[in-house]
Structure 1
Amino acid sequence: MGTQDAVIPHLSSILQKWLISKKLNRSYGFPGSLSKILEAPILSKDPIGRDSFSSSTLKTPGEVSVEVNLSLKSIQQRLSSRLDDKHISGIAIQETCEDIEVAVNKLSLTSTPSSLDDHRKNSFSALLCACGQSIPSTLKDMLLSYCDRESIVKVGEGTYGEAFKVGDYVCKIVPFDGDLRVNGELQKKSEELFEEVVLSCTLNHLRGHEGPVSNACTSFIQTIDLRVCQGHYDSALISAWEDWDEKHSSENDHPQEFPENQCYVVFVQQHGGQDLESFVLLNFDEARSLLVQVTLALAVAEAAYEFEHRDLHWGNILLSRKDSTSSSLQFILEERKIQVKTFGLFISIIDFTLSRINAGEDILFLDLSSDPEIFEGPKGDKQADTYRKMKDVTSDFWEGSFPKTNVLWLQYLVDILLLKKSFERTAKNERELRYLKKRLNAYGSAKEAFLKDPFFTDLLIHD
């Protein structure tokens, strides 16, 4: 077959997203190499032992079948250009990225699809590599690297996982790729967790780094570490889970049901405080502080990455108080430094499972059209109504950029403050919130809302 007749194969989406993560995320480095993903042997599906690991005893889900409409030739051209520049968006490219160009060049443009199959690896391998591992750890070993296991306390739960306070951090533990249903739902797949890993690390970059930045904030939860683990749920976690269940009556299934070959992704994150649902706001100033910080954080992420959270309910905003000297917070929005009043309150936005982000060469998103139940909540419920409004705004095209979805969640937050939260406020304060919600209808993004709405004006600190 001549070169002109060759079929140009496509990279799998997992490999492409790995490449993006290598080049965009410097604040949390991905130590694996693309060549290792391409050349590693297919892994065994047998469970690992508790105290010893080997590549021959590793559980692996099926290979990824989804491919992207992007040829190797176009990828090579972009890589050559970017590697020549040595910088991407002001971020110095590390030497480890050189293996990307080498590995991609090894995939000849004259290769047939069958020869490319020898290089295509499964999403589980890519997830391991993204977390800096060649094999999974156990939950016990992961926990011991952060604290005395007896001190672990459960602090929250969700449909797809559990949250535990581990030392100074919070670990979100998400089971994936197993056959056992989790709280009535199918477990997440490797490729879904891979996207959340990449997205979390990309948002880490907004926390700032050396040199000039165009957009920065610290209001998205910081990811400290990422681990892939395998095995039974650790006994210390089970004990903490049962303590929580006794006090709060857990809505989740008991984790002791997980089998020996169960896999998990553990997100080790900063402790951001209590969620808005349980946090007690003191007064209208704290409510205003919450709204300006959430709005400005979304505006910064919109400007940097076309970010949409798409699930910003009151369980996904954490709040904490600091001493009175911490009365302001700095954001950078399109190179403009902005100081806002905090009144001692600080927020952290968490859980990017449904989020959408433009990572430069690929769009990371969750196709909510494949989960119609999310739109079937009771009418009149503010959270369920917001999902349905998002569907109307996006016309069910979830890959597209629709920053209006961020505005919908800002309106939801105003409703929560008016209807669900009790704090010291006057009739005038309530009118201000109602008028804000009404004016938000006119804005197409959180950025536009922040820049144009008078509600935020007197929360700014001018030099």
Structure 2
Amino acid sequence: MARRPLTERSAQGWNQQPGRRMGGSQKRVYGKGSTASSRAVLSEQFLDENEVDQQNVQGGHGKAVSPLSSSLSSALSYTLSLEDGAKHVSPAPAGSVSEKGKEVQNLLVVDSTAATYISPLLAECDKPKGLYDFLTWAEKAAKTFKVTKVAEGSYGEVFKLEKKDMPSERSVPTPEHGQQAQGSSIFKLIPLRPKSSKSAKQTSLESLVREVQMLKLMDPVPGFARFKGLKVLRGSYPPSFGEAYYYHKARRPSDSQNPRPSTYRDKQLWALIEMDDAGEDLENLKSPSVYQIFDIFWLTCCALSYGEEEAAFEHRDLHIGNICIKPTTTRSSTTKTPANTLPDANLPPTTSFGRSSLNVTIIDYTLSRATTATSSSSSNEASSPNSSKSSSAPPVTTKPSIIYTPLPPNSSIFTQSTSRHPVPNPTLQRQNSTYRAMLRHAQSVEARSRAEDPSRENRKRDMWQRFMPRTNALWLAALLWTLLRRFEQGAERGGGSKSVGSGGNDDAGEEGRERLVLAGLRSLLDLLDGEEMLDSAGAVVLAAIERGLLQRRDWDGVRACLDGDADSGSCSATK
């Protein structure tokens, strides 16, 4: 389905309910390899035909089982019975699993109490829906994959799993646009708060369920994290993950604040969320070039505008740690240091977008808000495909639901202060002021809504349920401010990236073009921080085009890059 040009949509249209929503069979596929089913799930690849006798393990309807992922579903014979309130785990029929398959059964544990508690989270898992033994799963994974800790957050740790037989990172070519990097995945390891606990150091079940639902919902939308799967684990920290934790702590002690692995006992519950590797977050981009700022900002803005349209999406926490960048073409000599990528000197001088060879992914939807799609299906769709009888039952309609996180006015994100820091941190101050601006806007929207509709039902509604896309515009302003400040700091240190040709010779025309782009970005920041309240990411695009701060040629390139258009010349400028 062709996407209408943005300028053909009214500005008011962006402020109302989303037009086309994601969900069910109505999901659109963008580019190559963008659906979850087309992406290899690394957490299952170490369970292959070497461990499961394919002659003895059969899938549904008598078909042979795929050795990559379906074999896991069949060979691990315990299946959690959610129909009975997830109160027991039942084994598969005797004789249906080979001797080697029985060894794989050890991955799942029987714990009826835990199964009952985590049943809402297990419902979000792919088959088999069960509780995995963390130590056993990690031991098998360590035989095939190298485990590296790459980051951490208040929710838990972030690890990368890479195949041990992959070439060294320097020799791995950057994938062409539309292709997925093979051989590695990112895993968020999140400790689940026990039912009887209120510890702030572990995540609640409700919060985890919301995050997984949000990941699934936003997965097909360009510019958002690619979700691969979810596993629920039980057990203490395995050695491979513990070693990765301590190696990271030794190298980056200031970035290792979470509890030590020894803190967790053998009955600890975990959520392991697998996603595509989206690259490095913007915290690592210390001295961005002008063209990197241009590309990052407009790719982020475009992704948010898609989210607004498709799912009434607000991020509500889009600081630079929640935006990842990654080289997208072979023009970059490394996949590790995106700040060193140089613009293509052969691009037309009238084009600004695509000169950084970067693409953007928005991550971490802990505080986000979105609306699920309305879907309908008839009862015969759920019947056996081998059945010759058709049902005349009326279609079953699923009402849209809102995924959101309540944010009381006294939440720490609204009350925290940087005054206690020994050294002023303007970036953190801007981030905190954005949280508070978001709260003021939400309270203003709530007050107007109650005045217009004083009904009891409207008064009882949590204000954070409402679709208020101006919050996206507020975070876009904070993003642009932060990137421009880092550019200016880099220029003062003499470390800012310069737009030079591939031969290294200064190009006066290119430097003049860079100054024009920089001036446009500064004018855009004045617009975002000005009195005119742009009320969505889509409205930011419209205002920028109307004022000549964004050329239509560049906007077409941004959309083609995110949509994965193979004919658009990757994420480089359209010629």
Q: Structure 1 length as normaliser, TM-score? A: 0.68
Match of 1:128 among 110, 122, 126: 122
Distance 1:342 1:130, change over 3 A: farther
Checking the alignment, whether the CA contact within 8 Å between 2:316 and 2:367 is kept in structure 1 is: yes
Of the three residues 35, 39, 42, the one matched with 2:87 is 42
Question: Per-residue CA shift, 1:194-229, capped at 9, x if unaligned?
Answer: 1111110111122xxxxxxxxxx2x11211121111
Q: Which residue of 2 is the match for residue 390 of structure 1?
A: 438
Equivalent of residue 341 in structure 1, options 321, 343, 354: 354
Question: Which sits farther off after the overlay, 253-262 or 362-371?
Answer: 362-371
Q: CA deviation at 1:452?
A: 2.6
CA contact (8 A) 2:149 2:248 kept: yes
Deviations 1:323-347 (A, max 9, x none): 35699xxxxxxxxxxx963631111
Hey, what's the Cα distance between the residues in 1 that align with 2:27 and 2:244?
A: 34
What is residue 60 of structure 2 aligned with on the other side? none
Q: 2:205 aligns with which of 190, 199, 213?
A: 190
- In structure 2, distance between residues paired with 1:344 and 1:412: 23
Matched letter for residue 456 of structure 1: L
Alpha carbons 2:480, 2:525 under 8 Å: kept: yes
Report whether the alignment pairs 1:239 with 2:230: no
Partner of 2:14: none
Deviations 1:269-291 (A, max 9, x none): 11111110113555201110000
Aligned CA-pair RMSD: 3.4
Deviation, 1:297, is: 0.3
Match in the other structure for 2:540? 449
List per-residue Cα deviations over 1:221-256 (Å, max 9, x = no partner): 211121111111111111100001111101222122
Q: Is the 8 A contact 1:58 1:135 kept in 2?
A: no
Letter in 2 for 1:459: D
Residue of structure 2 equivalent to 1:174? 190
- Larger relative contact order (C-alpha < 8 A, sep ≥ 6)? 2
Q: Look up the match of 2:571.
A: none
Q: Is the 8 A contact 2:132 2:231 kept in 1?
A: yes
Could you tell me which amino acid in structure 2 is paired with residue 197 of structure 1?
V
Distance 2:360 2:241 in 1: 27
Change (3 A) 1:23 1:370: farther
Say if 1:180 and 1:187, in contact at 8 Å, map to a contact too.
no
Structure 1: state its 5+ residue gaps: 1-19, 45-49, 63-123, 207-216, 328-338
Determine the C-alpha separation between the residues in 2 that align with 1:178 and 1:56. Answer: 14
Q: 1:432, CA displacement in angstroms?
A: 3.1
* Counterparts of 2:116 and 2:276, CA distance in 1: 30
Contact preservation (8 Å) 1:176, 1:190: yes
- Judging by fraction of residues, say which structure has more strand: 1
> What percentage of residue pairs aligned between the two structures are identical?
24
> Is 1:459 aligned to 2:554, yes or no?
yes
Whole-angstrom distance in 2 between the partners of 1:172 and 1:247: 20
Matches within 5 A, 1:303-452: 303-323=309-329, 341=354, 343-360=356-373, 361-369=400-408, 372-378=411-417, 381-395=429-443, 397-421=463-487, 422=490, 423-424=496-497, 430-441=518-529, 442=532, 443-452=534-543
Letter in 2 for 1:37: L
Cα distance in 1 for residues equivalent to 2:130 and 2:435: 38
Change in CA separation of 1:125 and 1:25 when aligned onto 2, cut-off 3 Å: farther
Residues 389-415 of structure 1: per-residue CA shift (max 9 Å, x gap): 111111182111010010111011111
**Which 10-residue stretch deviates more, 135-144 or 444-453?**
135-144
Q: Secondary structure at the match of 1:287?
A: helix
Deviation digits for residues 304-358 of structure 1 (CA, Å, limit 9, x no counterpart) = 000011111111111112335699xxxxxxxxxxx96363111111111111000
Assess, with a 3 A threshold, how the Cα gap between structure 1 residues 224 and 370 changes in structure 2: closer, same or farther: farther
Q: Is the 8 A contact 2:301 2:537 kept in 1?
A: yes
Structure 2 CA distance, aligned partners of 1:226 and 1:25?
20
Shift of 1:179: 7.2
2:281 to 260, 270, 275: 275
Asked whether the equivalents of residues 407 and 446 of structure 1 are also in contact (C-alpha less than 8 Å), the reply is: yes
User: Is the 1:154–1:165 Cα contact (8 Å) retained in structure 2?
Assistant: yes
Q: 1:372 to 1:136 in 2, by over 3 A?
A: same
Q: Which moved more, 1:188-197 or 1:51-60?
A: 51-60
Deviates more, 1:287-296 or 1:244-253: 244-253
Mapping of 1:251-270 within 5 angstroms?
251-270=257-276
1:213 corresponds to:
none
CA shift, 1:437, in A, is 1.8
Distance 1:221 1:342 in 2: 23
Letter in 2 for 1:352: Y
Question: In 2 relative to 1, CA 265–41 (structure 1 residues): closer, same or farther, beyond 3 Å?
Answer: closer
Q: Structure 2: which 5+ residue stretches go unaligned?
A: 1-21, 29-34, 38-69, 74-79, 90-104, 163-183, 333-340, 342-351, 374-399, 419-425, 447-462, 491-495, 499-513, 558-573
Query: Offset of 1:61 from its aligned partner?
Result: 6.8
Q: Secondary structure at the match of 2:157?
A: strand
- Contact 2:147/2:160 (CA < 8 Å) preserved in 1? yes
CA-CA distance at 1:418 after TM superposition:
2.3
TM-score by length of 2: 0.55
Amino acid at match of 1:129: A
For 2:322 and 2:214, how far apart are their aligned partners in 1? 16
Counterpart mapping for 1:149-228 below 5 A: 151-167=146-162, 168-178=184-194, 185-206=200-221, 217=222, 219-228=223-232
Question: How far apart in 2 are the matches of 1:235 and 1:371?
Answer: 40
